[in-house]
Amino acid sequence: MWRIKTLRQSAAAACHTLRHGKSTKIMRPSMSSCRHLHSQKAAVVSCMEKQEWPHHASQSMTTLAAFGLGALTLTTVTYMQAAPGASDIPLKEENAEPGKVVPGAFKPDLPTYTLADVASHVSTKGGGVWVVYKSGVYDVSKFIGKHPGGSKILLAAGKSIEPFWQIYAAHNHADVHVILEGLRVGNLDPADVQALEEERLKKYGDGPYANDPERNPLFKVNASQPFNAEPPAELLTESFITPNDLFFVRNHLPVPDIDASTFKLEIAGLGVRSGNPDQPNTVAFTLDELKKTFNEHTIVTTLQCAGNRRAEMSAVKPVKGLSWDTTAVSTATWTGVLLSEVLAYIGVSEEQHCRAFPSACPTCANLPLTNDYPSECSSTIEHCHLEGLDKDVTGQSYGASIPISTALDPRKDVLLAYSMNGEPIPRDHGFPLRAIVPGTVGARNVKFLGRIVLSHEEYPGFWQQKDYRGFSPMIDYATPDFSKYAGPSIQELPVQSAITEPKPNATWPPEGSEEADVMTIKGYAWSGGGRNIIRVDVSLDGGATWQEAALDPLGVRQKYNRAWAWTPWSLDVDIADHMTDVKLVCKAVDSSYNVQPDSIAPIWNMRGVLNNAWHRVDVAIQKPPPSSGDDDEDDEDVEGDK
Helix (H) or strand (E) holding 178, with range, is helix 174-181
Amino acid at 111: P
Q: What does DSSP assign to residue 507?
A: E
CB 267 within 8 A of CB 283: yes
Please give the C-alpha separations between residue 217 and each of 11, 13, 27, 303, 429, in angstroms, as whole numbers.
8, 9, 6, 21, 17
Task: Please tell me the distance from the alpha carbon of residue 349 to that of residue 540, in angstroms, as a whole number.
Answer: 52
Q: Quick one: which of 508, 521, 22, 20 has its CA closest to 234?
A: 521
First to last CA, the chain: 51
Cβ neighbors of 423 (< 8 A, separation 6 or more) are 244
For residue 519, the one-letter residue type is M
In angstroms, the CA 434 to CA 246 distance is 18
Is residue 477 within 8 Å of 148, Cβ to Cβ? yes
* Closest listed residue to residue 384, CA positions, set 404, 398, 399, 400: 404
Pairing relationship of beta strands 297-304 and 329-338 according to DSSP bridges = antiparallel
Q: What residues are labeled active site?
A: 147, 171, 250, 305, 468
Q: What is the DSSP string of 326-379?
A: S-SEEEEEEEEEEHHHHHHHTT---SS---S-GGG-TTTTTS-S-S---TT-TT
Q: What is the DSSP-derived secondary structure letter of residue 79?
A: P
Would you say how long the chain is, in residues? 642
Fill in the amino acid letter for 413. Answer: D
Residue type, 80: M
Single out the residue of 159, 161, 236, 173 nearest to residue 501, CA to CA: 236
Partnered with residue 303 across adjacent β-strands are: 330
Q: Residues near 481 by Cβ (< 8 Å), separated by ≥ 6? A: 145
CB burial readout 428-467, b (16+ within 10 A) else e? bbbbbbbbbbbbbbbbbbbbbbbbbbbbbebbebbbbbbb
Strand ranges across the sheet with 397-403? 282-286, 264-269, 449-455, 383-391, 397-403
User: What is the edge-to-edge ordering of all strands in the sheet holding 567-574?
Assistant: 496-501, 518-526, 567-574, 550-551
Residue type, 504: P
What is the rounded distance in angstroms from the CA atom of residue 196 to the CA atom of residue 286?
Answer: 39
Can you say whether the dihedral through the CA atoms of 207, 211, 217, 219 is positive or negative?
A: negative
